[in-house]
Structure formats: structure tokens, C-alpha cells
Structure 1
């Protein structure tokens, strides 16, 4: 690639973003009382030097404070996979909060049992509990795994994504040993004291680590997502389940992002059988919600343990976890929005998106790749597609990524800022997908010169 041309195009698109978005730029400059000038520092991961500020969002559309409307393929990095403010969720939240009240009364509601039964239908685990985030669901699942196995360590895949769970911030070093993930902030201890690591799609590496006999659980995404989509090779997930059982290790599937694979995520789509399952973000339709599920056998073992204070010390997730408002939103999302039928349509749209990207790459003979996981599609600057997290991390090109994100945003299309991911929601249309295909093709033509 002609990097000089890329730099010139990136500078042009950056200048255009500044010209188009004076109100967002001014709001960012005024934000002197926010750490990093944003509500959460990850909001600074945006091409162009400042974030666009939200005015309103409905369905598959976002409007910023400068009045620009965008086709939203970011969808809150999965949090708004149901679309922005879907009507059934809006109605359920209004009824619970404005009409019935008691959003956080520390009392259960009957909606919770409905949600638990539906999660069992979709994912398999028989017993469920709730949190506000998938991070908290993972933290509690890890505690349960350590309690029931008596083992200290957690194994994850290199460059996995499990929120801000301390045990997950480990990557493979040259030679296969574990090392802290670069840039980790304020680690409580050396991560190799709490964790082991293996590359995704590497059964030999996984077995080598499990053979130490100190791993309580393998915490994994059935497909890597946040480092770019890395799909499992044939037989890999079956091998993971066989190895975990052989070495007496529990298996936790984190379906927070891989929920895009279908109504039951990868677990349902691929007939997987984890001991525990965690999920968050999308299930609340935009309202904070998370959940963790256990097999019936594991739940019974834990509840039979008189030495475990599962009432007082078991409140990981906070006082607001399982509150009536979050549960009402989750029921409405699962019952009326992210339905089996909606996932079928979203998957078809993602196939159309994938085909459009492939056509653009083929037209210019680019050595890039595109991967799809149900309703989620991602293009990478390498071919073939990466098979491990480390390979995927090495394939990044920040300048090229910034150019594409700015080019698309300046023409009314948002991708997830962390990578080149597009997610479909129930309100996404074929025309939305085709608009991306056209603008993406134009971007590639400019790069080609």
C-alpha cells in the first residue's frame, strides 16, 4: 500500500471531520471535569481526535449534536444489538419505573423466573443469577469455579475479551509462556499468579497448561471477537470440552459478544455444553443487565456447601444486580425483540454485508479477509483470516483503520471504533447494508488511486 497516499487521505478525512462536527469538537474541549474528557476513557478510541456527541438514537440510526444521522453498525459495541430504544423495551421500562415503581427495591419479581427459563431454553444451563454487567458475571463465575474445584487458577485465550476481569489480562509470550497484556492498568498482582493462557485453536497448548492440575476453569469466548473475529477450527471446541473434562476443569462460555451467532449464541448454534455461561450487554435492550448460568449439577453442589456464604458474601454484582427494572427490560428484549425470527433476519443481512465486502476486496485484489459470526461481520487487513488472538493482534493497522472509520463516518456510517466490526439489529435494512457496500468500495478505490 502507498503509505504516503494513505497519510494524505487520512489527513483529508480528519480535516473534514473537524469541519463537519464543530459542536462535538467544542463539547469535547469544554469537558474539563471528566477524566480523559469523556465519561469512560474508552470513548477516546475514535478516529479524528474527538468523539461525536450523541443527540438521539432510534432503531439502527444515531444522530449527533451537529445534526448528522448515521447508519449505526456499531450498536454500542453489542449493547444495542436489539436496536436503540426498541418499543417493547421502552414500554416495559416505562411500566416498571413510571407506573409500578420499585425499580430497585431489593425484592424479586416474577419476571426473573421467566427470564431464567428463557435463558435455559436458549443456552442450556438450568440455574441463573443476575448482574449488571458481563464483567461482574464473569467475576462471580470465576469465584464459583474456584470454590467448587478448590483450584486457584483460571485459563483464558490470548487476546480474549472478558471485560475488565483481572484474570483475563494475560497473553502468550514467545515460547508459549504467559505474560501480562501490554498496557494493563494497576494490576493487583502478577497475572501469572492467577492465570494461565493458551492460544485459541491450539489444543496442544491448552492441554499443556491444564496438565499442571491447578486450573479451576477455562473462561473462553466460543469465537474471539474483540481482537477481531477469530472463528474456531473444526473440532477445536469439541476438543476443549473433552480436555476440560479429562483434567477436572470447569468450562465457562462467555457469550456477551458471541450472542450474535444466534438466539442462544454459539452455545445454542453449535450445541456446546459448558458448565457455566455468562452474558451481558445485549440482553437488556440497552438497559444495564448481565447474567450467569450454571448446570443443575454444579448449582446443587454449590448450594450444598455449608461453608459458603452464598447469601451475604455472594452478592458480587452489587446491590442493583437483578433489580426489577433490568429484569423487566431483559424479559421484553428476549420475548419481543431479539427473537429467533429476528436473529434469522439479522444473519441474512450480515451475509449480505459480508458479500459486499468480499466483492470490494476482490475488485482491488486486496490481501484482506472477512469473517462472520451470525449477525456480526468484520474485515481484517490480512489473508487468510487469523486463527489465533496473537495473529489477529499482529494484523492491526491503526492508520488504515482510522482512515476507513473516518471515511465511513463522514459519509454517515458508524462501525465499532475498536475494530472493523459491523453488527446488524432488527431495524437494520438491506439498503443500510448496500450503502456500506457502496461507500466501502469508494474508499478502496481512493486507496488504490
Structure 2
């Protein structure tokens, strides 16, 4: 239904407009001679306008760039700023730790750590917690533990899942359902099929076939796919995963790093899941680097009872800065005062408004698109019906259309997550912010379809 010539003309216009509005950002990008890929981290090169917007400051759900332009931010650091940018309670806790209490890298515990562990246990239902600096590290360490405890070598993933840069997770399914390395995998240490198995999301039969080999230590999964767009679980699927993993003696790790948007206890609490391990990262620290993994009491006792495992020094399940006083103070302040149960209720209400408004526009223009919502997060997809697994979701990708919409919105003060048409609400997001998105989104569609 999309006139590709019209799309190309509009995109070219928007790109010229973007360059004209952002001379300082362009100059900084053009002059970056000492950064790999010209940016601090290569993901920042995901940019529809030819160069990234350079940050000047951010607060709440607002971002200001170096050219003085203001944006309503629905990207929120790809969930890293789910609490909003620089939430005051978190900022106050950081200042106290840095200026008053001091001690940022002492390798000593603080009282805040037990409070955070207890709060995470309350929210997610697993009792014993340990900290990292990223969810990627938390996943790596959890993988090492489950291999040690089960005596099995392989981990099972869903194609196009998101577990950070964990080597084992970069596996997708071939047409016959068996695994292969995900395209673009950089410098894989070994063939990924040596370490991993794969089964499509929402496919219990495929999962059972893979678990029947008897060599899978754990299924590591998002309860809803997020890195290839939001793919929601079908009725009974997650309960089936839990039943199959138990039947085959396989542990279940739920990664809530992105699905934390489902509610104060993530999808684990919202959907009544029963994982052996929960992993979470970034958003619980209000922007300060952090991650955590929680184990069931039974699993924790099994690990601590193993005298052959070095859990104190060189066993591979920790890092010098993990659980440092600053990140733990930020986690406590964010969980206690910002991402509260009440805050989530308001965030989910805003996301519901967002999804309903986008659906109205889609219906008005008879577009074959869908909207998916995951608690405080919503996304529009260029497919109908909505994809049911990662492979279908990848096949529905339309890079040109996505870039046009992202650039059209950015040129008018709205930022979406750059990897998707995904919008996240934070405690400071208002109904007016959501409505502003809808107005501009509809303008973009009206121009594209010549209505």
C-alpha cells in the first residue's frame, strides 16, 4: 500500500530538514576522529538522519540537544531511563554517595544492598540476589552457574532474542528449525551451535524437540521478545515452557531487562511465571550502570554447597566493580521512590493511551499494521497479523519506512527507540505528550498516503 517513490521523496526532504536543523550535531559527528565508528558506542550509529543527535541535557521525558532543540523522549535510553532522565530521588542518592558518604570502589558491601535484594525478591519472587554492572554480565554469570549445577553444556534461546552481547545467545533458526549463527555475529569464539540450541518463540513442539537431546542446562528467554520488535506470548505458551523445562530437568532463566515494562515485578509477576533465575539490568539504576540476577533459594543453596566451585575469587561469576556502593545506592533510590507500584500504574495507563491512539490512526488509513503493548511500552508493526516469533518479526522489517517515520517524528520533536517503532513511558510522561506523538504520526501517514 506504500508508494515507494513517494516514500523516497519524503525521506529525502526530511533528511535535508534534519541536516539543516542540526548543524552542531553534524559538526561534532564529522569532527569525531578518535572514536571507533565516530561514536562512543557503535550502536549510536543507528541513525535515520545520517548522523546522531548530540545530547546537551535531559530531564524527565525531555531531551535537549546541542542545537537547542527539545524533544519528547519515548526512547528513554532503550529502557535504561525507564525511570525518566535524572529522577530526583536517584540524583539525590548519587550525590550523597559521591559527595557525603564517599567510597565508590571499595569492594565492601553496604546496607543498601540487602534492601535492594529484598525488594527484588518481593517483586520477582526469587529469593537470593547478586549484582553486576550490566544485564549482559548477569546473563553470562547465570549461564556459568546453570552449567555447573546441571552438568550440561548447552543453553537454549529463541531466535532474535535480546540478552545483551552474550556469545551463546547469537543464534537463530534455519528453515528446518535447527540453529545457525545470527547474521552479523562479530568474532564468534566458537560455532554457536556448540554452545546453544534454538527454538522459535511460541513453538512448544520445537522446544520439546530440542530439550529431548538432554544436553540443555537452561532455557534463557525473554517472556516477550523485544529486540526484534515486541512479540507477545500466546495463551498457554509460557506455562508450557515451564512444564517442559521441568520435565526435561532444564532450568528456566527469565531475562526481564526489557520486559520489566510489564509492571513493577516485570512479566514474571504480571503473568505469574515461576523461573529458577531472573535477570534484570539498566532500568533499575535510574541511568547508573547496574544489573542483577536472582536465584531461587533452592538453587542458591545448591550452588553455595558446591565446594568445588570458586564463587569467591577466579570462578568467573563476578567483577571488581559489581555491586559497588554507587550503583547499589542508585538501585535502592530508583526502586524505592521512582519505579514504584503506583508509578507503573500511571505509566501503563499512558502506554494504553498510546496504543489506542496509534490503532485509531492505523484503522483510519486502512493500513495493514498492528500495535503491540507490553505494560508501559508499545510499538506499531508493519505487519498484520502481528508476528508470532522472531523470524516472522525480522521478515516484516521495513527499514525505509521505519527511517522515514523516525526522522519525521524527530524533526518535529518526538524521539522513538531507534531500533524499532517502540515507545516507552516513564513516570513523567503525560497524556499531552502521547497526544503530540499521535498528531505528528498521523501527519506523517497523511503525507505518505496522499490523503
Mapped contact 2:128–2:295 kept (Cα < 8 A): yes
State the alpha-carbon separation in 2 of the partners of residues 86 and 159 from structure 1: 32
- Structure 2 counterpart SS, 1:371: strand
State the alpha-carbon separation in 2 of the partners of residues 226 and 69 from structure 1: 27
Match in the other structure for 2:279: 278
**2:183 pairs with 1:146:** no
| Residue 313 of structure 1: how far off its partner (Å) | 2.2
**2:59 pairs with 1:58:** yes
Match in the other structure for 2:402: 401
Match in the other structure for 2:220: 219
Alignment of 1:19-418 (within 5 A): 19-314=20-315, 316-418=317-419
Change (3 A) 1:94 1:314: farther
- Structure 1 counterpart SS, 2:100: helix
Mapped contact 1:229–1:371 kept (Cα < 8 A): yes
Mapped contact 2:311–2:317 kept (Cα < 8 A): no
Q: How many residues are matched?
A: 449
- Structure 1 counterpart SS, 2:249: coil
| Residue 316 of structure 1: how far off its partner (Å) | 3.3
Q: TM-score under structure 2 normalisation?
A: 0.99
- Structure 1 counterpart SS, 2:217: strand
State the alpha-carbon separation in 1 of the partners of residues 163 and 217 from structure 2: 17
Instruction: Map Cα deviations across residues 155-213 of structure 1 (whole Å, 9 max, x no partner).
Output: 00011000000000000001111010000100001000000000000000000000000
Instruction: Map Cα deviations across residues 28-54 of structure 1 (whole Å, 9 max, x no partner).
Output: 001000000000001000111100000
State the alpha-carbon separation in 2 of the partners of residues 344 and 385 from structure 1: 25
Mapped contact 1:21–1:66 kept (Cα < 8 A): yes
Structure 1: tracts of 5 or more residues without a match: none
Structure 2: tracts of 5 or more residues without a match: none
State the alpha-carbon separation in 1 of the partners of residues 227 and 191 from structure 2: 23
| Residue 317 of structure 1: how far off its partner (Å) | 4.4
Instruction: Map Cα deviations across residues 298-323 of structure 1 (whole Å, 9 max, x no partner).
Output: 00001000000100024534211000
State the alpha-carbon separation in 1 of the partners of residues 142 and 363 from structure 2: 44
State the alpha-carbon separation in 2 of the partners of residues 224 and 34 from structure 1: 32
Match in the other structure for 1:443: 444
CA RMSD of aligned residues (A): 0.6
| Residue 423 of structure 1: how far off its partner (Å) | 0.0
State the alpha-carbon separation in 2 of the partners of residues 429 and 315 from structure 1: 44
Mapped contact 1:218–1:244 kept (Cα < 8 A): yes
| Residue 87 of structure 1: how far off its partner (Å) | 0.3
Mapped contact 1:258–1:373 kept (Cα < 8 A): yes
- Structure 2 counterpart SS, 1:143: helix
State the alpha-carbon separation in 2 of the partners of residues 336 and 415 from structure 1: 26
- Structure 2 counterpart SS, 1:57: strand
Mapped contact 2:144–2:317 kept (Cα < 8 A): no
Mapped contact 1:132–1:317 kept (Cα < 8 A): no
| Residue 290 of structure 1: how far off its partner (Å) | 0.3
State the alpha-carbon separation in 2 of the partners of residues 329 and 315 from structure 1: 25
State the alpha-carbon separation in 2 of the partners of residues 316 and 76 from structure 1: 27
State the alpha-carbon separation in 2 of the partners of residues 97 and 248 from structure 1: 46
| Runs of at least 4 residues off by over 6 Å | none
| Residue 126 of structure 1: how far off its partner (Å) | 0.4
In terms of mean alpha carbon deviation, does 310-319 or 256-265 score higher?
310-319
Q: TM-score under structure 1 normalisation?
A: 1.00
- Structure 1 counterpart SS, 2:337: helix
Mapped contact 1:201–1:388 kept (Cα < 8 A): yes
State the alpha-carbon separation in 2 of the partners of residues 314 and 138 from structure 1: 15
